[in-house]
């Protein structure tokens, strides 16, 4: 009988493993700060996060990895506190780490061990009895697609295989929360697709919540339902991607240039065209040096834009319907002033909305 | 989760007690150590002095065997504290030093070199569990070739010699236990500290042995130059000899390091090694 079968049959129900506190948020931050000497990396982070798969985004040095490490207990917070699945990271570190699986960003393995022995060791350290650990190690290796390579030494694994082995050790003990730090780092496209598929499967299994830290927006967009954006140690934004997609209005992305006959070349083509659109009742925002965004009122048709362009001696070089992508959300968060309590309150409000 | 299912499932089975997690580290490390045939051969060889001592003690109290070998009781050494010092303490001290040198540097340095500490410390294992897990390996192996054989010889001698000998030499047993415990604890902590600071195993071994020899040389130079005992405070061997002599009730020469100073120096050495060890056991280096 496999472990899964035993679990299903209700045997081994006399478990000693710590359990998450009922109805507690996955992660709750309460003024969490962390600094290395005089350099403050995390600055009073607050909020309650409940997503099934939370994407942790931010530019390099924003504090993503430090936040994960602080939650794992690698660093003691300099101020504030946090709880994971209802347990305080300061007081119940060991109990929390029994509920967590962690896939580090950098290469991390134990030299001289075969893959399956390594994962078995990790399972035993997480509290699985030896026999169950062995069984789970084999099963999890097949699950991540390394079944045939499980007796090979870890040193002989390719980069992609090492990433999968790291994922295997993170999930072998069946954690309730999984921290994945840059899981697709250094993977070729097929390996990346496989990794993201595994992440989505784990998410959809309902057995574990995930926090995926990445600087690759596409990866986060593909597997996360909520996104926490960090900037300079602050929470710049926290949103539910699906909600965000629904609420975002469709807009036009427009690129204009002066036509040959234009006599107003001293002025920017975008400025001229945006002024023309505004007189027609459109909402306009200039995106960058070449592109602008416009939301048209019901009374304005696309054809009117061409007329306006002709009147101003401009050429419309690009006209595209779009919705805000994660990239737009991310860039907007990066452009905003460093938020403090506003972001935290917004995060909490977002969560409340999500729960409602 | 079954192999044929290949879908993700959580784990709801039984769990081992949290306090016992460090034993997992010890068990795996021991298995790794005994995978080396060279080490197994050395470990077995470590019991040869005990075998010789056992034969001597056996012959001492077996008239038939002695007559068969045409030996007289006077030909065989007296079993007393001197016998235990030269026949047990000296060889086993050396053997345990070599054993710790072979095993110790291989315990932590590979984990540091391969950045494995985040994997350990992200589990319900803290720094103390990790150090305890690794330390237990060294202590277990060193105790097996020091404390266990010495106590075996003591009890064998006690059983064969009887009450009068025990009355006269009873302190040898506790002395073996205390002396070897101090030696292997100090040595093991120091070996782990070296292993934690030097990522390359061969260099860690050289540093471990070299530092002991160099401090001994420097200490002896000081002793020779100034004729004072304080040169001994950096000589591990001198400190241990002083403690052994005290424990076994052997004659103390004039001008040697006071026993209290020897204990304090060993304690400080172990505490400093432990401090240095703990400084290195962290998930990630913080680069300022």
List, for residues A233-266, the tens digit of each pLDDT value: 889 888 888 777 666 666 788 898 888 777 777 8
Confidence at residue B69, expressed as pLDDT on a 0 to 100 scale: 79
Instruction: Please list every residue in chain A whose beta carbon sits closer than 8 Å to the beta carbon of residue B114.
Output: 107-111
Within chain B, residue ranges assigned H as helices are 21-33, 37-45, 48-60, 63-68, 81-84, 90-103, 105-113, 117-121, 127-145, 147-161, 163-169, 172-197, 201-226, 236-248, 259-280
Under a CB-based contact definition with an 8 Å cutoff, are residues A223 and A212 in contact?
A: yes
Whether residues A157 and A284 fall in one domain:
no
- Other Cβ atoms closer than 10 A to B123: 28
Instruction: Please list every residue in chain A whose beta carbon sits closer than 8 Å to the beta carbon of residue B2.
Output: 2, 4-5, 139
CATH number of the domain encompassing residue A90: 3.40.50.300
B69 class by beta-carbon count within 10 Å (0-12 exposed, 13-18 middle, 19+ buried): exposed
Q: Is residue A329 part of a domain?
A: no
Q: Is residue B69 part of a domain?
A: yes
Whether residues A172 and A300 fall in one domain:
no
Number of domains in chain A: 2
Whether residues A105 and A184 fall in one domain:
yes
Interatomic CA distance for residues A182 and A133, integer angstroms? 26
R_g of chain B computed on alpha carbons: 23
Q: Is residue B155 part of a domain?
A: yes
Q: Is residue B91 part of a domain?
A: yes
Which of A104, A112, A179 is facing B32, going by the closest CB pair? A112
Q: Is residue B288 part of a domain?
A: no
Q: Which of B6, B7, B8 to mutate to test the interface with A (most CBs of A within 10 A)?
A: B8
Q: Which residues of chain A have pLDDT under 50?
A: 1-14, 339-356
Which of A5, A100, A127 is facing B122, going by the closest CB pair? A100
Q: How close is the nearest chain B Cα to the Cα of A169, in Å?
A: 9
Q: Is A353 on the interface with B (CB under 8 A)?
A: no
| Range(s) of the domain holding residue B126 | 19-280
pLDDT by 10s per residue, chain B, length 288: 444 456 788 888 889 998 899 999 999 999 999 999 999 999 999 999 999 999 999 888 887 888 887 777 666 778 889 999 999 999 999 999 999 999 998 899 888 888 899 999 999 999 999 999 999 999 999 999 999 999 999 999 999 988 888 999 999 999 999 999 999 999 999 999 999 999 888 899 999 999 999 999 999 898 888 877 888 888 999 999 999 999 998 887 777 889 899 999 999 999 999 999 999 998 876 554
Structure tokens, A100 = 């967590």
Q: Which of B5, B6, B12 to mutate to test the interface with A (most CBs of A within 10 A)?
A: B12
Q: Is A131 on the interface with B (CB under 8 A)?
A: no
Q: Is residue B3 part of a domain?
A: no
Q: Is residue B285 part of a domain?
A: no
Whether residues A121 and A236 fall in one domain:
yes
For chain A positions 88-107, those within 8 Å of chain B (CB to CB) are 93-95, 97-98, 100, 102, 104, 106-107
Whether residues A236 and A155 fall in one domain:
yes
For chain A positions 169-188, those within 8 Å of chain B (CB to CB) are 169, 171, 173-176, 179
Which of A5, A108, A139 is facing B119, going by the closest CB pair? A108
Instruction: Please list every residue in chain A whose beta carbon sits closer than 8 Å to the beta carbon of residue B25.
Output: 125
Whether residues A137 and A183 fall in one domain:
yes
Q: Is residue A330 part of a domain?
A: no
Whether residues A137 and A205 fall in one domain:
yes
Q: How close is the nearest chain B Cα to the Cα of A320, in Å?
A: 41
Q: Is residue A224 part of a domain?
A: yes
Q: Is residue B124 part of a domain?
A: yes
Q: Which of A234, A242, A224, A209 shows the shortest CA–CA distance to A347?
A: A234
Whether residues A294 and A177 fall in one domain:
no
Which of A72, A112, A125 is facing B24, going by the closest CB pair? A125
Q: Is residue B207 part of a domain?
A: yes
Number of domains in chain B: 1
Instruction: Please list every residue in chain A whose beta carbon sits closer than 8 Å to the beta carbon of residue B9.
Output: 4, 7, 174, 205, 207
Q: Is residue A334 part of a domain?
A: no
Q: Is residue A328 part of a domain?
A: no
CB contact under 8 A, A4 and B9: yes
Q: Which of A7, A67, A115, A126 to mutate to test the interface with B (most CBs of B within 10 A)?
A: A126
Under a CB-based contact definition with an 8 Å cutoff, are residues A296 and A282 in contact?
A: yes
| Range(s) of the domain holding residue A279 | 249-322
Whether residues A227 and A253 fall in one domain:
no
CB contact under 8 A, A16 and B1: no
Q: Which of A241, A209, A211, A221 shows the shortest CA–CA distance to A52?
A: A209
Confidence at residue A2, expressed as pLDDT on a 0 to 100 scale: 44
Q: Is residue A303 part of a domain?
A: yes
Structure tokens, A62 = 């924003």
Whether residues A165 and A282 fall in one domain:
no
Structure tokens, B127 = 């720094």
Burial string for A232-248 (b: 16+ CB within 10 Å, else e) reads bbbbbbbbbbeebeeee
């Amino acid at each position: 009988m496999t472990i899964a079968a035993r679990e299903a049959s209700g045997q081994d129900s006399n478990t000693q493993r710590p359990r998450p506190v009922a109805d507690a948020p996955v992660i709750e931050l309460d003024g969490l700060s962390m600094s290395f000497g005089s350099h403050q990396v995390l600055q009073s982070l607050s909020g309650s996060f409940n997503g099934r798969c939370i994407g942790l985004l931010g530019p390099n040095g924003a504090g993503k990895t430090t936040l994960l490490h602080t939650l794992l207990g690698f660093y003691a917070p300099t101020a504030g506190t946090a709880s994971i699945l209802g347990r305080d990271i300061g007081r119940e570190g060991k109990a929390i780490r029994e509920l967590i699986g962690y896939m580090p960003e950098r290469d991390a393995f134990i030299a001289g061990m075969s893959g399956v022995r390594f994962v078995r060791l990790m399972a035993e350290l997480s509290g699985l009895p030896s026999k169950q650990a062995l069984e789970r190690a084999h099963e999890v290796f097949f699950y991540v697609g390394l079944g045939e390579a499980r007796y090979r030494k870890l040193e002989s694994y390719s980069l992609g295989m090492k990433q999968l082995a790291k994922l295997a050790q993170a999930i072998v003990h069946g954690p309730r929360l999984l921290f994945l730090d840059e899981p697709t780092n250094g993977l070729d496209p097929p390996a990346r697709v496989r990794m993201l598929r595994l992440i989505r499967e784990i998410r959809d299994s309902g057995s574990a919540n995930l926090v995926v830290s990445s600087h690759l927006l596409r990866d986060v967009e593909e597997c996360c339902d909520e996104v926490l954006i960090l900037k300079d140690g602050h929470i710049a934004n926290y949103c539910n991607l699906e909600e965000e997609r629904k609420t975002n209005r469709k807009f036009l992305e427009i690129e204009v240039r002066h036509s040959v006959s234009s006599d107003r070349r001293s002025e920017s083509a975008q400025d001229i065209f945006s002024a023309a659109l505004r007189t027609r009742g459109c909402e306009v925002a200039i995106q960058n040096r070449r592109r602008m965004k416009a939301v048209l009122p019901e009374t304005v048709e696309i054809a009117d834009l061409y007329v306006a362009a002709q009147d101003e001696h401009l050429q419309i070089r690009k006209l595209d319907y779009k919705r805000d992508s994660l990239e737009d959300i991310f860039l907007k968060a990066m452009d905003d002033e460093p938020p403090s309590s506003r972001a935290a309150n917004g995060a909490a409000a977002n969560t409340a909305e999500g729960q409602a | 989760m079954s192999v044929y299912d290949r879908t993700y499932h959580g784990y709801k089975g039984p769990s081992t007690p949290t306090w016992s997690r460090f034993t997992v580290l010890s068990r795996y490390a021991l298995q790794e150590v005994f995978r080396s045939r060279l080490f197994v051969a050395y470990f077995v060889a470590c019991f040869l002095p005990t075998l010789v001592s056992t034969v001597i003690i056996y012959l001492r109290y077996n008239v038939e065997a002695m007559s068969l070998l045409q030996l007289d009781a006077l030909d065989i050494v007296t079993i007393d504290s001197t016998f235990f010092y030269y026949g047990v303490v000296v060889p086993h001290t050396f053997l345990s030093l070599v054993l710790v040198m072979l095993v110790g540097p291989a315990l932590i340095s590979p984990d540091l070199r391969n950045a494995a500490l985040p994997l350990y410390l992200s589990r319900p294992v803290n720094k103390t569990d990790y150090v305890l897990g690794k330390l237990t390996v060294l202590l277990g192996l060193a105790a097996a070739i020091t404390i266990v054989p010495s106590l075996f010889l003591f009890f064998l001698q006690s059983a064969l010699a009887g009450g009068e000998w025990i009355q006269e030499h009873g302190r040898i047993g506790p002395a073996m236990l205390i002396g070897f415990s101090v030696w292997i604890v100090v040595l093991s902590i120091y070996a782990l500290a070296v292993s934690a600071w030097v990522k390359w195993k061969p260099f860690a071994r050289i540093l471990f042995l070299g530092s002991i020899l160099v401090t001994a040389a420097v200490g002896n130079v000081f002793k020779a130059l100034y004729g004072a005992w304080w040169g001994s405070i950096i000589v591990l061997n001198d400190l241990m000899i002083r403690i052994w002599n005290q424990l076994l009730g052997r004659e103390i020469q004039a001008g040697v390091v006071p026993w209290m100073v020897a204990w304090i120096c060993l304690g400080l050495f172990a505490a400093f090694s432990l401090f240095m060890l703990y400084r290195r056991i962290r998930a990630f280096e913080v680069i300022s």
